[in-house]
Amino acid sequence: MASLTVRQLDDRLKKLLRLRAARNGRSVEDEVRTILRAAADEGAPGPLEASAPPREARSAAPPAVRRVLLIIGGGIAAYKSLDLIRRLKERGLAVRCILTKAAERFVTPLSAGAIVGERVFTDLFDPAHEFDVGHIRLAREPDLVVVAPATADLMAKLAGGHADDLATAVLLATTAKVLLAPAMNPRMWANKATQRNLAQLAADGFRFVGPNEGEMAEAGESGTGRMAEPLEIAAAIDKLLTLGHALDGVRVLVTSGPTYEPIDPVRYIANRSSGKQGHAIAAAAAAAGAEVTLVSGPVNLPDPPGVTVAHVESARDMLEAVERALPADVAIFAAAVADWRVANASAQKIKKAAGKAVPALAFAENPDILATIAHRKAQRPRLVIGFAAETENVAANARAKRAAKGCDWILANDVSPQTGIMGGDSNTVALITANGAESWPPQSKDDVAAMLIARIADALKADT
């Protein structure tokens, strides 16, 4: 089943679902999937009731309505944005909508307005409404601004700080987080100018969902450039709104990726870590309002938006960068650090020659970065979290690692090749704390990150 649509739930159930999803840092769809999985597990107690909010919470005032401003750009994918509006309204979000001039060629203000349930906005200078809902108010009101489709032209304007129409003026004036759902022809997406704008926008803190790979509207065209599906965009919106300000003012340090240990100036020893999980955690922490430093080994991933990144190669460089990044409130060690380095690394390229013996490498142990930080007397972060990459006896090894390294929590995962976790997009982890172990469902690395950040926010709150 590729997606899940649940209709005709009564209001109490919808509210319970939304609260439960928010508490667990999941989208409503993911929450339903989790509940169904648990229900399929025979003998499990009624999962919805089991984690229903306590009575006091149920009678507490409903959470404030979240406001989303949707800017529809001019692309063939604009029609999907009408479905997106419906998805957002289903979630109880208050939606306002701006259409760019080009968008009006694909959808009309009338059709968008009918779904939004109020007029949509199109003009920067609208004498009838400037005093009512001007662009500054449109920029100030929302908790999140979403641009879908974000065309190549809109991205270029945003990267350059233009403000020559209502959409760009609002985007320049808003302090809310902005989520872009790019959509364009694959050649336009791959163009150096678009990629330059993308890098600039990511560095400026814009968030992205998609584009996806697949068939384009133009006959015979395919590649990367399709706008993410409405449900994917809605899930990304859920995540940004849920995390919201959960880690405002919190300093988070994350390590990610492999380390490279040189053999000589051109050769090195490395491992299969992609950095996807560590980078997802850094991105989720930033999305939750934290001030994030990411110390990353060599990876093929863009720097996450709104994060300060230190790029390093070896384990010893990583430790130095981590120490420079202290103090931090929370430190999460997701990097796959090489345990050993080559002790007899050569300053010059090792040459092969007929009759010459093959080189013998001698190894020296690298510093254990997690253990070093967790055992610090001064500047120990309040919460130190490690990962345990195991291929056998996962839970027992992870528990032993937590104790040996002195960290507060450890996320255990099975990195045997058949799990596809190392380098893949999904992960199955168990969270091990002083109070025991908790298995999390198989989910995307982004969802693991969101769940972890929600747990960290809860733990910090409980600790203050």
- Give the footprint of ligand CTP on this chain (CB under 6 A): 255, 315, 333, 335-337, 339, 366, 368-370, 386-389, 401
d(CA 167, CA 70) in angstroms, rounded, equals 10
CB closer to ligand CTP out of 71 and 374: 374
Q: Check residue 264 and report its DSSP letter.
A: S
- Minimal distance, residue 336 CB to ligand CTP, in Å: 6
CB closer to ligand CTP out of 204 and 339: 339
C-beta separation of 272 from 423 below 8 A? yes
Query: Cβ contacts of residue 283 below 8 Å, gap of 6+?
Result: 304, 305, 307, 446, 449
Task: Give one DSSP letter per residue of 27-78, joined into a string.
Answer: -HHHHHHHHHHHHHSTT---HHHHTPPPHHHHHSPPPPPPEEEEEE-SSTTH
- Residue 381's nearest CA partner among 249, 248, 252 is 252
CB closer to ligand CTP out of 94 and 389: 389
d(CA 429, CA 421) in angstroms, rounded, equals 10
Q: Check residue 92 and report its DSSP letter.
A: T
- The amino acid at residue 257 is G
CB closer to ligand CTP out of 245 and 272: 272
- Minimal distance, residue 368 CB to ligand CTP, in Å: 4
CB closer to ligand CTP out of 84 and 388: 388
- Minimal distance, residue 213 CB to ligand CTP, in Å: 31
- Residue 382's nearest CA partner among 438, 326, 334 is 326
**Which residue intervals of 251-333 are DSSP H helices?**
276-287, 315-325
- Minimal distance, residue 410 CB to ligand CTP, in Å: 7
Catalytic site includes residue 271: yes
d(CA 418, CA 183) in angstroms, rounded, equals 34
Task: Give one DSSP letter per residue of 112-148, joined into a string.
Answer: HHHHHTS--B--SS-TTTTTTS-HHHHHHS-SEEEEE
d(CA 273, CA 437) in angstroms, rounded, equals 24
- Minimal distance, residue 194 CB to ligand CTP, in Å: 35
- Minimal distance, residue 202 CB to ligand CTP, in Å: 25
- Minimal distance, residue 436 CB to ligand CTP, in Å: 19
Choice among 271, 366, 413, 427 that is catalytic: 271
Q: Check residue 439 and report its DSSP letter.
A: E
CB closer to ligand CTP out of 193 and 343: 343
- Residue 181's nearest CA partner among 113, 108, 236 is 236
- Minimal distance, residue 307 CB to ligand CTP, in Å: 18
CB closer to ligand CTP out of 104 and 320: 320
CB closer to ligand CTP out of 227 and 411: 411
C-beta separation of 413 from 438 below 8 A? no
C-beta separation of 94 from 65 below 8 A? yes
Burial (CB count <10 Å: 0-12, 13-18, 19+), residue 341 = buried
Any idea which residues carry the catalytic annotation? Answer: 271
